[in-house]
Amino acid sequence: MKFTAVFFDFGGVVLSSPFEAFNHYETSCGLPTDFIRTVNATNPDTNAWARFERNEVSFDQFCDQFEAECRAAGHPVVAREVMPLLAGEIRPAMVQAIRCCRRRLITACLTNNWARFDDGPADQASSEAQDALALFHHVIESSKVGVRKPDRRFYELACEMCSVEPSEVVFLDDLGVNLKPAAALGMTTIKVIDPAAALRQLEDLVGFPLA
């Protein structure tokens, strides 16, 4: 099969998974393991996190709503302490793979993120991460397009922006819930659990070295 594009998630693929940082925070605060992830998975289309990533609420509104959701789930959480945990660490091998793919294929980053607010968190990406984002031909951001993964429309917009059909795309994400609609559209998907294993899969699919 000939592919013409590779789509990459950002946090959890190009950057280390924020869930690891969440777990460290939960341990330090005496919260149950995966508590934050569970809150974010509850009412996933309408909760505070989803609305913030679609740029429907301000940062202050997000903090109030997210903290209320955490209290309703049984534990207090300070939203402004949670947001920096999303920064993550760059994965050099994944960045190198993007460089290699860019030489031969269309590359795009598909990311759920939030707009910058004056009263909000600092930029999500470090300078290294910004450099990695600059490698992509296209960056599709939930905060700018008004929809987010796993909404089918998000993937359709990405294909339209890149002028490709879903069947021409390999898509890497660390969450199965984000991969299912992409696969249903016809994309070939790779779930990134072990980044090295995921890159071997991608290399087999595209047919050229990624290191």
- Residue with token string 């993937």: 155
pLDDT reported for residue 22: 96
How many CA atoms within 13 Å lie on the side-chain side of 211? 4
Q: Name the helix (H) or strand (E) containing 152.
A: helix 152-162
- Cite the residue boundaries of each domain of the chain with CATH code 3.40.50.1000: 5-16+88-206
Cβ–Cβ < 8 Å for 96, 131: no
Name the superfamily (CATH) of residues 5-16+88-206. Answer: HAD superfamily/HAD-like (3.40.50.1000)
Residue type, 156: E
In 4-126, alpha helices (H)? 18-29, 35-41, 48-53, 59-72, 79-82, 92-104
pLDDT reported for residue 120: 42
- Cite the residue boundaries of each domain of the chain with CATH code 1.10.150.240: 18-85
pLDDT reported for residue 127: 83
95-100 long-range contacts (CB < 8 A, ≥24 apart) are 95/14, 95/132, 95/135, 96/210, 96/211, 97/199, 97/202, 97/210, 97/211, 98/8, 98/14, 98/132, 98/135, 98/136, 99/135, 100/208, 100/209, 100/210, 100/211
pLDDT reported for residue 1: 63
CATH code that applies to domain 18-85: 1.10.150.240
pLDDT reported for residue 32: 97
Paired with 141 in beta bridges are 111
> Largest Cα–Cα distance of the chain, in whole Å?
50
Pairing relationship of beta strands 138-141 and 106-111 according to DSSP bridges = parallel
Residue type, 197: A
State the 10-residue block means of pLDDT for the chain, 211 residues long: 93 93 96 97 96 95 97 97 90 97 98 68 65 96 95 98 98 97 98 98 97 89
